Amino acid sequence: MKRLSVLFLVFSLCFNVFSQTKTAQDVLNDFISQSELKNASVSVYAENLTTNTLVFDYNSNLALAPASVLKLVPTSMALELFGADYKFKTELAYSGQISADGTLNGDLYIIGYGDPCLGSQNFTSTYGKDFEILQTWTNEVKNLNIKKIKGNIIADISYFGEIPIPDDWIWEDIANYFGNQGSSLNFVDNLYYLHFKTGYTNGAATIITKIEPEGLGYKFDNQVLSSSTVWDNAYIYYTADKNQMQVKGSLAWKQDDFVVKGSIREPERYLVQAFSQNLNSNGISLDGNLKVISAFDINVPRKVFHTTYSPKLSDIVDYTNIRSFNLYAEMLAHHIMKKTEKSWNESVVEFWKKKSIDTDGLELSDACGLSRFNAITTKQIVGMLKYMGLYSANKDKFFTSLPIAGTNGTMSRFCIGTKAQNRLHAKSGSIARVRSYAGYIYNSNGDEIVFAVVVNNHSANSYRIKKIFEDFFAALVDIE
């Protein structure tokens, strides 16, 4: 009798364990039934690459705004079109002649070819620390025995011409660090830094104590208040005067040095100014003006005397995806457009059609995902990821550019302590009421699942929407 009881208990336990194992449909139902997604547009698509089977297909043809998941498009295409080892260049050149007394009777040029990260502190091994690149360039001028420039110092941005701010980026975004449209001559990530000292009472005024780098010529109408309930809710706004900014919102109280990042509107102008100052501090004088040109007269002969190269494209792609860096994504898109001689949307559609992806409904306004007018389906995203994972010669470079849950980049605090930690390799995306993830995840059997999940117009706060997705991915690991 005791033996029968033991057998019954073992059977019951096994039955409970088996019955608690959720199917793919169970996991999907749990996800889409969350109250915060009741009025949202939700799309989920996933395939098991190991078994070649479908895992999820829910509204997979619904075209939605993907936020920063969209960065997967320019990064994958750039690797395919240019190659992982490709480098962007910036040239120094001069026109005219250098006399025996060290006078350049002509102009000194910085010629931009759209290096996304020229001078960036994200790549100090390439450009040096701080503004070391300016001294490197100054030394190259010295090597020509130039002591005086009897002409102009010119920033040449004719490679792309003037890049306009996308029409459908919202006003709240475009003056902040994530809203820079890029240039043929980007410099130090087109960023400046506002240092705030906040008050000790709720609602107290704040003080801007320092602006870095110096010499931008910007003025700020500071309306930021101290807050006991928020950390960083301050935004920079352009005004009718391009050198006058407004800063509104609130920052955490009781902070001696709270840093807010802004976008340098015309980085080429700042670069030519900073270079001129560095030349002057090294005893090289200028008898002329600082200029920016968006078109160059090819009849004017120029001699290139120095070329600065960027890091490898694969390194730029890594930073773009792992840190979700908007500027780099936008610049990669401009290079793709230059190569294909088509608009961004046309370039994307044509490229992926050739990879047998159905591009119906695909409409892209930018490359970084900031625009709410972007429209892409989860099935299209998975198609791109599937191609990169199975057929691309750059598949390893692309895969390692994706953040790992609980480990690095924008996913470093995601899924910590869950089964999805370290199994989930994905790009995340988030703008107002939008949350999305796309990439690869390994289930408990070691199967590789490629997926995309996009939610538009959810009603959850940031903590809650993060938890909904964490629960989804943790459950996805156990699906066989």
Assess if residue 172 is contained within a domain.
no
**285 shares a domain with 355:** no
Sign of CA dihedral 168, 310, 122, 416: positive
Three-state secondary structure call for residue 31: helix
Q: What is the pLDDT of residue 11?
A: 42
Looking at residue 84, its pLDDT comes to 98
Do 383 and 333 share a structural domain?
yes
Q: Is residue 402 part of a domain?
A: yes
Residues 337 and 399 in one domain: yes
Statement to judge: residues 336 and 406 lie in one domain: yes
Q: What are the mean pLDDT values of the chain's consecutive 10-residue runs (480 residues total)?
A: 43 44 95 98 98 98 98 98 98 98 98 98 97 98 98 98 95 95 98 98 98 95 96 96 96 98 97 98 98 94 98 98 98 98 98 98 98 98 98 98 98 98 98 98 97 98 97 94
470 and 426 co-located in one domain: yes
Local structure of 331: helix, strand or coil = helix
**Whole-number Å distance between alpha carbons of 169 and 263:** 14
Give which of 32, 38, 281, 269 is closest to 137, Cα–Cα. 281
pTM: 0.94
- 154 near 107, Cβ under 8 Å? yes
Exposure of 448 by Cβ count < 10 A (0-12 exposed, 13-18 middle, 19+ buried)?
middle
Q: What is the pLDDT of residue 378?
A: 98
Is the residue at 339 inside a domain? yes
Kindly state whether residues 116 and 39 are assigned to the same domain: no
Question: In this structure, is residue 8 part of a structural domain?
Answer: no
Q: Can you give the residue range of the structural domain that contains 207?
A: 188-262
On whether both 107 and 216 belong to a single domain, the answer is no
Question: Which pLDDT belongs to residue 21?
Answer: 77
- 178: phi > 0 → left, psi -120 to 50 → alpha, else beta; which? alpha
pLDDT (0 to 100) of residue 207: 98
**Are 304 and 355 in a shared domain?**
no
CATH code at position 430: 3.40.710.10
Q: What is the CATH number of the domain that holds 140?
A: 3.50.80.20
Residue 174 lies in a domain: no
In a domain, 169, yes or no: no
Contacts of 409 (CB under 8 A, 6+ apart): 321, 322, 323, 324, 403
Q: Tokens in use for 239?
A: 């005004």
Q: At what angle do helices 72-82 and 313-322 cross, to 10 degrees?
A: 170
User: What is the reported pLDDT for 1?
Assistant: 44
Q: How many domains does the chain have?
A: 3
Task: Assess if residue 417 is contained within a domain.
Answer: yes
In angstroms, the CA 121 to CA 332 distance is 19
Same domain? For 328 and 414 the reply is: yes
* Residue 128 sits in the same domain as residue 276: yes
Q: Is residue 177 part of a domain?
A: no
156/239 same-domain check = no
Measure the CA–CA gap between 70 and 355, rounded to whole angstroms.
18
Residues 121 and 257 in one domain: no
